[in-house]
Structure 1
């Protein structure tokens, strides 16, 4: 067992420590002695992009099944144990990781750790539970499909990344959820839910050594520590990447509002230019003062929601502009989107926009770390996907150091790539090809 101090604290962060247990299980903590709550997360380095076609939807399926029961607790006892002390317990599935988390009072930390370790290491994956949760997930997919503003982002990813794991929906499809068997799900669970792929992150009023002993004891009881001296899984830093896929995908639906995403391939999360792209994104469509919001909503009243965004993965990313508008306004909206992207390429950002973008990024980072849950997420995700944990102060300095030349450079690289457009609305034969022309 080895322990290291990753950050000594003092810049608005607490002391961050990391211990690697025998078998490769990692425990990372951040002390916040002035609070009375604790957030605990069990992060598994497995996401929907790791699914082979025969396992499509298995990652999210497991998110449901792990709460259905263990030899120690049934489904009601799992939820009641945490909710009965005023806490909360839940989970989420991403493209590259899955997280099970709980937030409780600091005095109830031992119970939270015991429950999370129990569900992560000892899920029964009972055949009857697979049958019942299959129906629940199908309902979840149906609910998701009723929200065009959600579906259009999924359609954009599918069009952008094609028939690859990154392009497929995290929830799976109706066909894949109906087809996947209990044995395939159990096989997926045994293969990936192992100590070397797992990180426990805890933030709050805690003692690191006590946390480590509690987690080690919980895993030891479950027989889940694994082979001694097994190294932890390294961060996912590389992969196949992705090439731009220009084209238009129209999903015809009789909606009262048209939803669109126009964008292209972005950059990966380890690219040093991500800070410059963040400033560009903030100025272009990151808030109410951004160009897109001002032009589309404030000046012309063409839409209620208009924004741009970036997403980063180990080896690729995406940049997109989303707008929801009346179907009759879509040509005007797309023209503005193209014009604003073109203006950025031709003229760059103003000094005021650059400073406002930096301020928005700095403020968003610091304000987003005001609670134990966000601190827990930051250190847990960082341990899984980055080679090292950057301090808050270092990130703030990197944002402030972004130059105009860096912004212009990343703008010309990303915004000149072939573009993809996804549209959901009452369109059958409408030609949108002009919208993706550079």
Structure 2
């Protein structure tokens, strides 16, 4: 062991303290709802939101990697890796991981998206140290053994098959391909049977080492917690795994994206023997950082966000042509989607599309009425607040905000941005987005003549 002088030791400790910095991002009332961030040496960020009135806590780790970061040969690697991190570490077997949370009545899961991945556990507040230790161990100490890769391959292929059996899910993947083509945003998050079968343990290990560095991770916790305690426990877990050896690393910046290839007026039809035809009609939308996203949120809610929305009233209530009809938005780092989904009997698909196209064209020309905008704003504000009633939702909000925006916005500020949307704001974004030539994706048992007629819906 090499000895160091007291002077050198003191200087090193001082430098380490200077690197680890804590900020209060949002100040709550009497400490409730306070959001803090600590950046550790090595670039690991830890954000927490304190809610002393509950008896639970949710702990999550967000990775700055999604299916958008895959090459064609690595299709599905991000999601594959999500599965493998549950298969065992140097300290725990797969059974140890699952039984640890089961034994305290907790729940643990993960999800993979186009631009990020999240692993989380929800437990009683007294069991938070256990959740931190288990999830951090998974993220830093995964073995990714060949036998686990081989075993999990079958599970993922079954998941792909299960998804393929649900045309209501498949049509959204089809629409992404219709809009973005053969690009990372146009490919399915799960990958395909061919790409999953071709992935090797070595490729997945390299992918893991590249994208699960502390600089690419955000730790988020919400509930009846103490920020300083969470920081100490997370730091201990990462240092135990040897994952904080660098002291000069800075967190990666929020993704700025690469301009995706977008096409207009494309029609893709997938013939399936289904009872319904599943359709998505849509246009390019807005990036998640676009300030007009608040106006788009109001537009989306008024058009297809509830039972009082235009599309629900016109398609379902007045004509009974569909059971499920709604609109939605997806925002990425540099682009987005706005889509309308409907499921209907195959012989009514043209009527449904005609009504949807007419409503989109009408709103593009005329905008929305004041009463519709007021109702949509009220609906958005209420659903936003109600959606943040549990610690899991709070953890998702602060973790995703840190990873995707690098900042936090209070709920009051969010509600104020919604309330500030004007009819002119909605009219402008409607004219720009809905005035574009749409693309269309359809899955169902359509005959050739029916499929040929679908091109008129985007003409």
TM-score (norm 1): 0.98
How far did 1:254 drift?
1.1
How many angstroms apart in 1 are the aligned matches of 2:217 and 2:350? Answer: 48
Residue of structure 1 in register with 2:23 after alignment: 4
Q: Could you tell me whether the CA contact under 8 Å between 1:237 and 1:385 is conserved in 2?
A: no
Question: Equivalent residues in 2 for 1:334-349 (5 A)?
Answer: 334-349=353-368
Residue of structure 2 in register with 1:390 after alignment: 409
Residue of structure 1 in register with 2:275 after alignment: 256
3-state SS, counterpart of residue 210 of structure 1: helix
How far did 1:357 drift?
0.8
Match status 1:369 vs 2:388? yes
Question: Equivalent residues in 2 for 1:21-36 (5 A)?
Answer: 21-36=40-55
Q: 1:197 to 1:412 in 2, by over 3 A?
A: same
How far did 1:226 drift?
3.5
1:215-258 deviation line (CA, Å, top 9, x unaligned): 00000110011311311111113422443332100000111111
How far did 1:84 drift?
0.8
Instruction: Give the one of 239, 243, 249 matched to 1:230.
Output: 249
How many angstroms apart in 1 are the aligned matches of 2:354 and 2:62? Answer: 42
How many angstroms apart in 2 are the aligned matches of 1:9 and 1:173? Answer: 46
How far did 1:83 drift?
1.1
Q: Could you tell me whether the CA contact under 8 Å between 1:127 and 1:182 is conserved in 2?
A: yes
Q: Could you tell me whether the CA contact under 8 Å between 2:67 and 2:114 is conserved in 1?
A: yes
How many angstroms apart in 2 are the aligned matches of 1:192 and 1:165? Answer: 16
Residue of structure 2 in register with 1:186 after alignment: 205
How many angstroms apart in 1 are the aligned matches of 2:361 and 2:384? Answer: 29
Q: Could you tell me whether the CA contact under 8 Å between 2:369 and 2:423 is conserved in 1?
A: no
Q: Could you tell me whether the CA contact under 8 Å between 1:237 and 1:386 is conserved in 2?
A: no
Residue of structure 1 in register with 2:190 after alignment: 171
1:170-193 deviation line (CA, Å, top 9, x unaligned): 000000000111110110001100
Q: Which runs of 5+ in 1 are unaligned?
A: none
Residue of structure 2 in register with 1:131 after alignment: 150
How far did 1:11 drift?
11
Residue of structure 2 in register with 1:280 after alignment: 299
How many angstroms apart in 2 are the aligned matches of 1:164 and 1:141? Answer: 19
Question: Equivalent residues in 2 for 1:26-425 (5 A)?
Answer: 26-425=45-444
- Structure number with bigger Rg: 2
Q: Could you tell me whether the CA contact under 8 Å between 2:281 and 2:340 is conserved in 1?
A: yes
Q: Could you tell me whether the CA contact under 8 Å between 2:86 and 2:97 is conserved in 1?
A: yes
1:332-380 deviation line (CA, Å, top 9, x unaligned): 1011001111111222111110001111111111001100000000000
Moved over 6 A (4+): none
How many angstroms apart in 1 are the aligned matches of 2:202 and 2:340? Answer: 41
RMSD after superposition: 1.1
How many angstroms apart in 2 are the aligned matches of 1:30 and 1:387? Answer: 16
Q: Which runs of 5+ in 2 are unaligned?
A: 1-19
Match status 1:436 vs 2:458? yes
How many angstroms apart in 2 are the aligned matches of 1:279 and 1:47? Answer: 28
Residue of structure 1 in register with 2:10 after alignment: none
3-state SS, counterpart of residue 247 of structure 2: coil
Q: Could you tell me whether the CA contact under 8 Å between 2:365 and 2:431 is conserved in 1?
A: no
How many angstroms apart in 1 are the aligned matches of 2:89 and 2:257? Answer: 35
How far did 1:13 drift?
6.1
Aligned residues: 437
Q: Could you tell me whether the CA contact under 8 Å between 1:244 and 1:417 is conserved in 2?
A: no
How many angstroms apart in 2 are the aligned matches of 1:243 and 1:425? Answer: 24
How far did 1:10 drift?
3.2
3-state SS, counterpart of residue 246 of structure 1: coil
TM-score (norm 2): 0.94
Q: Could you tell me whether the CA contact under 8 Å between 1:242 and 1:265 is conserved in 2?
A: no
